[in-house]
Amino acid sequence: SQELEQSPQSLIVQEGKNLTINCTSSKTLYGLYWYKQKYGEGLIFLMMLQKGGEEKSHEKITAKLDEKKQQSSLHITASQPSHAGIYLCGGRTNDYKLSFGAGTTVTVRA
Amino acid sequence: ETGVTQTPRHLVMGMTNKKSLKCEQHLGHNAMYWYKQSAKKPLELMFVYSLEERVENNSVPSRFSPECPNSSHLFLHLHTLQPEDSALYLCASSQAASGRGGRTDTQYFGPGTRLTVL
């Protein structure tokens, strides 16, 4: 089955600094989803990318999907305490089933 | 109430108990899902329902029994669970079921039920 690798597993960033999370698939992705999760709670949908080279932004969060549609990055600019949480990528391959990465835990220090 | 709701939010049960988890979606979606999230592991898809019909069962033990009486409600009946079944159980919904018709619909998640089996 398809596997999504997320890196790093966790990161600590100073408030106001930028951070980047990566998500890599061994297969071509036909839909790439980014979610945010507070510990012990549900997933909040952030963005979906479908086309190679696509880039979307919402407030200070930008997500990109590479041209080969096998790698995505999530970039947060000038991080704030509200950005703390677990970020998960989910991806669909040719069978359109949705698989998830293990998540990246983000800690923002004041 | 909006989005996807789940009850109870927390559940502690013994191995011989029978309990049920409830999920309700208010988004007018046709597909609903049960996921299991264990510590340090990716989300595991358990069941998929499309228009009240079960379309996927990912080799889940029979001690987990899903029920979908209509497109807005989904239950997960639990009996004779094991301690390793302790996890966060998440419900999700989407306009159409994944893997059907090539759709790439976004799944929206509920807050989850934290289950502890003693």
For residue range B58-99, what is the model confidence (pLDDT) as tens digits?
Answer: 789 999 999 999 999 999 999 999 999 999 999 999 987 755
Comparing alpha-carbon positions, the chain B residue that sits nearest to A34 is: B106
Q: What does the alpha-carbon distance between residue A75 and residue A62 come to, in Å, rounded to a whole number? A: 5
Residue-level pLDDT at A97: 73
Of B42, B45, B106, which is closest to A102 when you measure between CB atoms? B42
Q: Does B16 touch chain A (CB under 8 A)?
A: no
Q: Looking at residue B85, what DSSP letter applies?
A: G
Task: Give the mean pLDDT of B39-45.
Answer: 87
Largest separation between any pair of C-alpha atoms in chain A: 43
Task: Give the mean pLDDT of A26-51.
Answer: 92
C-beta of residue B61 within 8 angstroms of C-beta of residue B76 = no
Whether residue A45 and residue B106 make contact (CB cut-off 8 A), yes or no, is: yes
Whether residue A97 and residue B99 make contact (CB cut-off 8 A), yes or no, is: yes
Q: Looking at residue B9, what DSSP letter applies?
A: S
Q: Looking at residue A80, what DSSP letter applies?
A: -
C-beta of residue A95 within 8 angstroms of C-beta of residue A29 = no
